[in-house]
Structure 1
Amino acid sequence: MVIEHAPLEDELGDVLEKAMRCAELDETELGSRAGVPAEKIRDAWDYRYDFTADETLRLARELGLNEIGVVALASGRYPLPAIGGLPFCLYPLRTPHGIGVANAYIVADCGSQRGILFDTGADPEALRRVWPANIRHLDAIFITHPETEHLAGLADVQRRFGPVPVFGPVDSAISGAVALQEGSRMKLGIFDVETLATPGHAEAHNCYVVRAAGMPGGRSLLVSGDILFAGSIGGAYFCSERLKKHVKRLLELPADTAVAPGHGPLTTIQNECTYNPFVF
Structure 2
Amino acid sequence: MILHPVASRGSFGLAVLNPVPLEDELGDVLEKAMRQMGLTEEALGDRAHVDSSRIRDAIDYRSDLSGAELRRLAAVLRLNEVGLCALGCNQYPLPVLGALPFCVHPLRIPYGIGVTNAYIVTPCGGSRGILFDTGPGIAAMEEVWPDAVRQIEAVFLTHVEAEHTGGLCDLVERFQVSAAYHPVGAVVPCGQPLGEGERKVFGRVQVTAFSTPGHALAHNCYLVESLVAARGRALLISGDLFFAGSVGCAHHCQRQLATNLGRMLQAIPADTVIAPGHGPMTTAENELRYNPFVS
What is the TM-score with the length of structure 1 in the denominator?
A: 0.96
3-state secondary structure, aligned to 1:57: helix
SS at 2:74 equivalent: helix
Letter in 1 for 2:80: N
- 8 Å CA contact 1:13, 1:45 repeated in 2: yes
Distance 2:165 2:241 in 1: 16
Partner of 1:278 in structure 2? 293
Q: Where do 5+ consecutive residues of structure 2 fail to align?
A: 1-10
1:260 equivalent in structure 2: 275
Partner letter of residue 11 of structure 1? E
Unaligned runs of 5+ in 1: none
Alignment-derived partner of residue 80 in structure 1: 94
Runs of 4+ that moved beyond 6 A: none
Could you say what secondary structure the match of 2:261 adopts?
Answer: helix
Assess if the C-alpha contact under 8 Å between 2:235 and 2:274 holds in 1: yes
Residues in 2 aligned to 1:6 and 1:153: alpha-carbon distance in whole angstroms: 23
Contact 1:6 1:101 in 2 (8 A): no
1:123 Cα offset (Å):
4.0
Matches within 5 A, 1:195-234: 195-234=209-248
Shift of 1:23: 1.2
Q: Which amino acid aligns with 1:85?
A: A
Q: Distance in 1 between matches of 2:189 and 2:137?
A: 18
Which amino acid is the alignment partner of residue 64 of structure 1? R
Q: Which residue number corresponds to residue 104 of structure 2?
A: 90
SS where residue 107 of structure 2 aligns?
Answer: strand
TM-score w.r.t. the length of structure 2 is 0.91
1:116 aligns with 2:106: no
Distance 2:259 2:153 in 1: 32
Whether contact under 8 Å (1:208, 1:223) holds in the other structure is yes
Supply the RMSD in Å over aligned alpha carbons: 1.4
Paired position in structure 2 for 1:154: 168
Residue 5 (structure 2) aligns with: none
How far, CA to CA, are the matches of 2:187 and 2:152 in structure 1?
22
Corresponding residue to 2:284 among 250, 269, 273: 269
- In percent, how many aligned pairs have the same letter? 52
SS in 2 for 1:218: coil
**Aligned pairs, how many?**
280
Q: 1:274 to 1:151 in 2, by over 3 A?
A: same
Post-superposition offset of 1:100: 3.1
Residue 19 of structure 1: how far off its partner (Å): 0.8
State the shift of 1:232 in Å: 0.5
Contact preservation (8 Å) 2:209, 2:220: yes
Given the alignment, which residue of 256, 261, 264 partners 1:242? 256
Equivalent in 35, 53, 57 of residue 49 of structure 2: 35
Deviation at 1:278, TM superposition (A): 0.7
Amino acid paired to 1:158: V
Which deviates more, 258-267 or 245-254?
Answer: 245-254
Deviates more, 1:50-59 or 1:198-207: 50-59
What secondary structure sits across from 2:109 in the alignment? strand
